[in-house]
Structure 1
Amino acid sequence: MDDGMGNSAYLVDLGDGRGLAVDVSIDLRAVREAARWRGLRLAFVAETHLHADFASGARELAETHDTRILASAAGNRVFNHVGLADEQEFDLGGLRLRALATPGHTREHLSYLLSDGDAPLGVFTGGSLIVGSAARTDLDSPEATEDLTRKQYRSLQRLVTLPDEVAVWPTHGAGSFCSAPAGGERTSTIGTEKASNPLLAVTGEDAFVAALLGSLGTYPDYFRRLPELNRHGLRLPDRPAEPAALDTAQVRALLADGAELVDLRPVTAFADGHIPGALSNPLRPQFASWLGWLVPPDRPLVFVRDADQDLADAVWQAAKIGHFAIAGELDGGMKAWQAAGYEIARVGLADAADPADLATAPPSILDVRQRAEYTGGHVPSAMHVELGSLTTHADAVPDGPLVVMCGHGERAMSAASLLARSGHRELTVLVGGPGDWARTTGRELDQGT
């Protein structure tokens, strides 16, 4: 499970030393380790759709493990695979997969019903039926969105004809920008979804279209790029190359030539001192999504980190969203930059749990969370501009003293770094979220826009 991206991949033990993997990313370390631990050879890998939110590892598995790829024939992938059509079955050597055309999330989307003889066990639903919802249908184009949403409705209606006890194994879950409600459950059953999924309780196709489309928020630009990348398939060495250790002069030269400086350190470390113009993106499970949202894929990356942070984690997370242009890291980190006598920038911090901090903070507040988070409860009179919009709309934020906030502080610091880059000054980042603010001040949050 990828907590940061909100996705799940699956490994099925076929009972004879072979395994089936489903919807794996290019970071194959976990599935390889799981297969090794169980003594399985990765004989098959199935793809439910051309993924928009992560780079697929299917082709890499095929070319490093002699794994057979099962995917929709309608996906027009340009590498070797077994193209499956609706109702086509594939014998896994005892267990069987039956392809079910379930378009909506994407045009070529397939779900896979896994059966033991005539007994259905579970269905890999990808971005069709997910726990408590259905995945978004607006990734193709504005012109195709309504048609795909209607197809999504029919796909869900088809899936719920399966027996109630059949397990539901979706790819997308809570935290995915492919749209999923909050919650910890990653799998379900057909019966549970029939009883509890709000979209299955909606009466009629038109009402379903209105409900699903009304729930959709924004998504990163890289979602437009990755499906075509996945159609061609990605190959990597066993791991991305170790980034070069760069001295301060090399870093300055790269930045002058247009490289992006990404500071991986925690919020407090960035606030205490950072290289002017650096993008704050703390290394955490959500790192890849925000890197892909805020940095163009062709821009070389230079990392700054603390010594105890795992550089390989940053490299693999970048690879998951198809960002491979990593120039290196600042050798010695901020200590080396300071020792060279170069300028240091700082950002103020305010603690949402500290009444004294709130009492002295500037009155203007910018909330950079997603729309649904903001409308669910925000500080009264807070402005709202999503973090993902600030790369192009920083000028929509007025100058002057400003407190920037999100749910915890990481996105707010990313926003502050973008605003500082665009010339904003007197910025303070709120550590904590609206709930902390409400508890500290004793005031209620506003709802809605």
Structure 2
Amino acid sequence: MSSVDHGVEAVTVTIDVTPLVDEGLGNSAYLVDLGDGRGLVVDASRDLRAVRAAAERQGLDVAYAVDTHLHADFLTGALQLAADDGAQVIASARGHRQFPHVGLDDGDEVDLGGLRLRALFTPGHTDEHLAYLLLDGQIPVGVFSGGSLIVGSAARTDLLGADRTDELARAQYRSLHRLATLADDVAVWPTHGAGSFCSAPAGARRTTTIGAEKAGNPLLAAPDEDAFVATLLGSLGSYPDYFSRLAELNRRGPGVLDAESTGRLTPLPVPAVDRLRDSGAVVVDVRPVPDFSAGHVPGALSIPLRPQFATWLGWLVPPGTPLVVVRNPDQDPGEVAWQARKVGYDELAGELAGGMDAWREAGSPIRSVPLVTAEQLPDISADEPEILDVRQDSEFRSGHVPGARHVELGALAHRADRLPDRPTVVMCGHGERAMGAASLLARAGRSQVSVLAGGPQDWSTATARPLVTGG
């Protein structure tokens, strides 16, 4: 919620802006109450459950669906809102989207019926990026900054390829400094936040103000453009493979879904699952790590159902692959389906009917991956297993087990068959990514694999030995 004091008359106008946070992707969409029973939604994903719930609570009909840029980390929900709610889609004219929308360029405005939305061309994260300034009369209330100015940083500029990264980083410098000319009390409502692979520092804050960013954002404190570029590019890590696909899908426009059937998974008997596996489908096991460890369908890929499920599905499974889900009865099939569809995985063949109990009862083969505790690891190390750490580069550098091999989980999907077939203990921070890595290694024919139940700090505590920092 944002408040603005209209000067000498001391009239305070309150505008309701509700952030809708996707913890898994690290992003925020926003629902704006336009004051007349209508709502405006900014940067909604194809998974509109949170938008629908918030609009219903507030008694709003969604009249506008706004995108700040061609998203790489999720499919836009704007077309679904247009189809279901009659919402008017607003986006950058420079994005050349291939579906009906109102295309805006720098300085263009949309009258929202009292409030106004002004487009600000802010390239950098993408080359067609717009921020949107929300005005009440002539008073700027806040800016939907998308992937330009974010809390404590700016979004990455390398999504269009290495040959354009420096150019876009310099454009990002100009965009941030343009936004910094707004008044200090103007709210900043970014799309990308902590946990986003579009580059955001850790922290709990999802929104900010221009004044707070001028005072505390290291990029705005950079003495010149070159220093800004060096700082921004130096902070970038890897990003999921699917980022290279979704921007173009968003340009064309993702397919409109039948919401009633989209949140379900078709039950598949064991013979049907076998036939699908033989024809190239991937079995995605979404059960918790201990359950997968105890027994799973041979060749299944472990991606536990948690907020980050969509990211790892998009990173580890090739696009267009039919998916068969294995879950526990207490896991929501709708959550699996919606997370898959928001990153472009519509080939959901169904789920194993009856789960692993049905698989066992059919006498089908079962595989397992041992779990190793931190207390057991020192004993196992006498047999000299390889320690494989699959965390992100920044995590590995912050502290790892001495002698550990490092391959990020996202990269392992392309390298599993090239690693030596020797006793290996896989570790990450808690175990979820490590089990995903172990399942990739098993799919590549590696049989001497176990997983650490815990992370490097657990090993350090159990052995009273320090972790190693650096590369």
If the length of structure 2 is used for normalisation, what is the TM-score? Answer: 0.93
Conservation of the 8 A alpha-carbon contact between 2:263 and 2:333: no
Say which of 177, 193, 213 aligns to 2:213.
193
In 1: Cα distance, 2:218 partner to 2:389 partner: 29
- Report the counterpart of residue 415 of structure 1 in structure 2: 437
2:187 matches 1:157: no
Which residue pairs with 1:305 in the alignment?
327
Query: 1:351, 1:358 within 8 Å by CA — same for their partners in 2?
Result: no
Secondary structure at the counterpart of residue 198 of structure 1: coil
Name which of 9, 18, 22 aligns with 2:38: 18
- The 5-angstrom pairing of residues 3-402 of structure 1 reads 3-234=23-254, 235-239=256-260, 240=262, 242-352=264-374, 355-360=375-380, 363-402=385-424
CA offset at residue 439 of structure 1?
A: 2.2
Alpha-carbon deviation of 1:19?
0.7
Q: CA deviation at 1:363?
A: 4.2
Residue of 405, 420, 430 corresponding to 2:427: 405
Stretches of structure 2 lacking an aligned partner (at least 5 in a row): 1-20
* Partner SS state of residue 413, structure 2: helix
Identical counterparts, % of pairs: 62
Distance 1:424 1:42 in 2: 51
Give the SS at the match of 1:412. helix
Residue by residue over 1:310-361, the C-alpha shift from the partner in whole angstroms, topping out at 9 and shown as x without a partner, is 1110000000101000111111111111111111111111223xx2454335
Find the aligned partners of 1:199 and 1:426 in 2 and give their Cα distance: 46
Moved more, 75-84 or 4-13: 75-84
Secondary structure, aligned partner of 2:466 = coil
Superposed CA offset, 1:227-274 (max 9, x none): 111112221112416322111111011000000000010000000011
Q: Does the Cα contact within 8 Å between 2:315 and 2:410 map onto a contact in 1?
A: yes
Cα distance in 2 for partners of 1:443, 1:161 equals 51
Q: Secondary structure at the match of 1:153?
A: helix
Letter in 1 for 2:402: P
The letter of the residue matching 2:27 is: N
CA contact (8 A) 2:385 2:422 kept: no
Aligned residues of 2:121 and 2:128 also touching (Cα < 8 A): yes
1:302 counterpart SS class = strand
Cα distance between partner residues in 2 of 1:199 and 1:351: 42
Whole-angstrom distance in 2 between the partners of 1:435 and 1:191: 38
* Counterpart AA for 1:445: L
Q: Which amino acid aligns with 2:44?
A: V
- Superposed CA RMSD: 1.2
SS of alignment partner, residue 8 of structure 1: strand
Alignment of 1:448 onto 2:470? yes
Q: How many residues align?
A: 447
More moved, 393-402 vs 249-258:
393-402
Shift of residue 181, structure 1, vs aligned partner: 1.0
> Deviation string for 1:180-224 (max 9, x for gaps)?
111111111111111111111211111111111111111112111
Partners in 2 of 1:339 and 1:54 — Cα distance? 39
Answer whether contact 2:390 2:437 (CA < 8 A) is retained.
Answer: yes
TM-score, normalised to structure 1, is 0.97
More moved, 68-77 vs 428-437: 428-437
Q: What are the superposed Cα offsets for residues 351-385 of structure 1, whole Å, 9 maximum, x if unpaired?
A: 23xx2454335542100011111112111111100
The answer to whether the aligner puts 1:428 opposite 2:463 as a matched pair is: no
Once the two structures are TM-superposed, the CA of residue 128 in structure 1 deviates from its matched residue by 0.6
